[in-house]
Structure 1
Amino acid sequence: MDCNNVKNRSHKLLELSQRFRQSNSVSSCSIAEQSNPSQNLKRPNRAAVLICLFEEGDDIYVILTRRSSKLSSFSGQVSLPGGRTDEGDQDDIRTALREAEEEIGLDPSLVDVVTVLQPFGAKGNIIIVPVIGILWNKQAFNPVLNTEEVESIFYAPLEMFLKNENRRQEERGTEGDKYMFHYFTHKTHDNVYVIWAVTAAILITAASIVYQRSPDFEPRMPKFWNRKHNRL
């Protein structure tokens, strides 16, 4: 199914899509660069995650997962669909879409990629590239979880990552760099999820760009998450 043929698109998301595509200021890592494999230097520690947005009611939601407790790293933590770059991946967009399909059964043809954000650093010297895509037809998505990697899937309103409500923070420091870890609690009808660390940081950044405003709190993120110089 071609996501570009979906009728009755959300005006809010349509405006968002047009703004991303018309603006060169959203990210210096443009989709044009991403579509050219010669522009991308493959690194074994490079990864990409998909910030997949859809509208329900008056809110924009993002798809999130809880990682399987069977995994050797970050087990049981909340994360965005995504994973490490494979040698066969043309670019970071391909990595994010491939991983989302493998983890939660999200057909790449349903996702309209609108921009790629600046990368973040994570433990193990991993470079994480966030890819923003729009799911125009939420009804066409029937999740199929890879239980070896994903324990559950849920949806959270993107704007919650700009609000103080259901948020706590913890000050940390390393090598003279004092920063905040933000913890967001989200309740569903059958579970409670805590979104924190680099996943929370990525979503704070994405929400700030989408809603074009600063969060109601001081993000004060650690410097080691800023990996702009490692982009290509």
Structure 2
Amino acid sequence: MSAPDLIAQIAGALGRTGAATSDFDLNPETVLPEGRMLRPAGVLVPLLTTSNGPRILLTQRSSALKQHPGQIAFPGGKQDEGDADVTAAALREAQEEIGLDPSNVEVLGHLPVHETVTGYVVTPVIARVRAPFTPIPEAGEVAEVFDVPLPHLLDPKMFQIEGRYWRGTLRRYYAVPYGPYYIWGATARMLRALADVAGP
């Protein structure tokens, strides 16, 4: 399937009703406190049309960061007071983190929200990058910007369930490795949600 056709397929699928996801989906024994306060955030899931086919752009966080150092992530972050909504937050953060101009972005829709173990409720904003651009990683926050073939991330067979101990408890999570990149945790869970909604 060509890049425009696959991206159009995703855009059409985003209208389907889907369930919210969380970092706890594979850990049903986890008891979450009633009335917990979650902070809104938005991440941009940028779809690229390239000579190598459709791809998704991702970042690797700096190893110097206090939260999630070195992990693979979407550009994005918490909603600030000046942001109209989580979509605006995702677009602003993408411009700050990788130099992606909001005018070069066509928002296609959203996935259901994702609750993180760090207390955020994240909205994945699915968007098409209109024209090629050269990413400019934000010094000190983004170590690398790279892209992964979209068909790889839409194939449920590419996803694994793995686990590691966190605060003394075994935590299970999704991972979807690609080459030297170990994509796991919240980012992999949101990608799995995209695969479930729009995959073959």
Give the TM-score normalised by structure 1. Answer: 0.67
Q: Which aligned pairs between 1:208-227 and structure 2 lie closer than 5 A?
A: 208-211=196-199, 213=200
* Fraction of identical pairs, as percent: 31
Matching residue of 1:122: 116
Matching residue of 1:135: 129
Extract structure 1 runs of 4+ deviating beyond 3 A. 14-17, 26-29, 171-174
Q: 1:64 and 1:46, CA in 2 relative to 1: closer, same or farther beyond 3 A?
A: same
CA deviation digits over 1:16-42, x for unaligned, max 9? 44x25xx7425699xxxxxxxxxxxxx
CA deviation digits over 1:143-172, x for unaligned, max 9? 11102110000001233232434x542257
Given that residues 42 and 86 in structure 2 are in contact (C-alpha distance below 8 angstroms), is that contact kept between their aligned partners in structure 1? yes
Matching residue of 1:169: 161
Of 10, 13, 16, 1:25 maps to: 16
Give the TM-score normalised by structure 2. Answer: 0.77
Structure 1: how far apart are the matches of 2:72 and 2:79? 20
For structure 2, which runs of at least 5 residues remain unmatched after alignment?
21-36
Residue correspondences, number: 178
| Higher helix content, 1 or 2 | 1
Larger gyration radius, structure 1 or structure 2: 1
Structure 1: how far apart are the matches of 2:117 and 2:85? 22
Structure 1: how far apart are the matches of 2:160 and 2:187? 15
Structure 2: how far apart are the matches of 1:123 and 1:24? 27
Counterpart amino acid of residue 154 in structure 1: F
Highest RCO, 1 vs 2 (Cα 8 Å, sep ≥ 6): 2
Q: Which aligned pairs between 1:1-232 and structure 2 lie closer than 5 A?
A: 10-14=4-8, 16-17=10-11, 19=12, 24-26=15-17, 45-57=39-51, 59-137=53-131, 139=132, 141-161=133-153, 162-165=155-158, 167-171=159-163, 180-187=172-179, 192-211=180-199, 213=200
Q: What SS class does the counterpart of residue 87 from structure 1 fall into?
A: coil
Task: Report how far residue 207 of structure 1 moved.
Answer: 2.4
Q: What SS class does the counterpart of residue 123 from structure 1 fall into?
A: coil
Report the aligned-residue RMSD: 2.8
Task: Report how far residue 95 of structure 1 moved.
Answer: 0.5
Counterpart amino acid of residue 60 in structure 2: R
